[in-house]
Amino acid sequence: MATNEIKIDDNNPLFSTQGLFYKEFPSDLRQVRYFTLLIVQKSPPEFQEVNLLEQQISEIIKNAIKHGNKQDINKKVRVWYGFDDTSARLIVQDEGPGFQRLEEWNEFLRHRNEAFEQQDFEEMAKYISYRSPDSAPDDGGNALFAAVEYWNDGVVFNSKRNCIALKRTFRRKKKKAPGVAVGQSAGAE
């Protein structure tokens, strides 16, 4: 299984904002769920697992507020987002110094994934949560591990590392064949 990692690429098409909606929010953690609901409202009604989509978007915005803007209420989080029938796109930019420990994080993820693939939970325990000197006690240290799995069409930072772009492609709903009994529909996630 290929190991996911977060790349740096200013020219990645995921940074194109064409056709995307735009909102900017203050760095107020108390309002993140509300902000995220405003974004998810635009997703097509056919989308399943909307709660998970909301959760994953809110993690990225929380990261921008906590780690990027250090909860400075005067600093804004800028968000571009868009949906079509089969995919969701998100770009989140903060006003912070950027994720300077990205290479260290990618290395940490590689070890974590190797341990998981071998189901070596003793080894995995060493890589279970990513902590940096900036980590707060209530930081889970695991949001981006889920993000690189969820956003299955790419997770990329700009070279300043304060802007992240992500895309998830959903599986299409299987159409029922006439006259054929179909069990559980796979559905879009």
Partner 1 sequence: MELHQRSNGSVQIVDIDGDLDLYNSFKLKELVNQLVNSKVAGLILNFQDVSYIDSSGVGVLIYTNSLLKTNNTPFRIIQVHGSVRRVIELTKLIGFLPIVDTEEEALKQVSGKS
In this structure, the strands spanning 87-93 and 76-83 are antiparallel
Closer CB to partner 1, 137 or 179, in the complex: 137
Closer CB to partner 1, 113 or 162, in the complex: 113
Structure-token pair, residue 179: 């006259």
Strands annotated E in the chain: 7-8, 21-26, 76-83, 87-93, 155-157, 163-169
Closer CB to partner 1, 89 or 112, in the complex: 112
Closer CB to partner 1, 113 or 158, in the complex: 113
* CA torsion, ordered 16, 48, 130, 108, to nearest 10 deg: -70
Report the nearest approach of partner 1 to the CB of residue 124 (Å): 6
Q: Which residues bind partner 1 (CB under 8 A)?
A: 29-30, 49, 51-52, 55, 58-59, 62, 112-113, 116, 119, 121, 124-125, 128-129, 138-143, 145-146, 149-150
Report the nearest approach of partner 1 to the CB of residue 58 (Å): 7
Report the nearest approach of partner 1 to the CB of residue 56 (Å): 8
Report the nearest approach of partner 1 to the CB of residue 74 (Å): 21
Report the nearest approach of partner 1 to the CB of residue 159 (Å): 26
Considering only CA atoms, which of 160, 165, 23, 6 is closest in space to residue 87? 165
Is-contact 99 147, C-beta < 8 A? no
Considering only CA atoms, which of 167, 165, 169 is closest in space to residue 11? 165
Report the nearest approach of partner 1 to the CB of residue 149 (Å): 4
Q: What share of the chain is helix, strand, coil (3-state, %, to 5)?
A: 35, 15, 50
Closer CB to partner 1, 13 or 140, in the complex: 140
Closer CB to partner 1, 59 or 94, in the complex: 59
Structure-token pair, residue 50: 């909307």
Q: What is the rounded CA–CA span in Å between residue 75 and residue 126?
A: 35
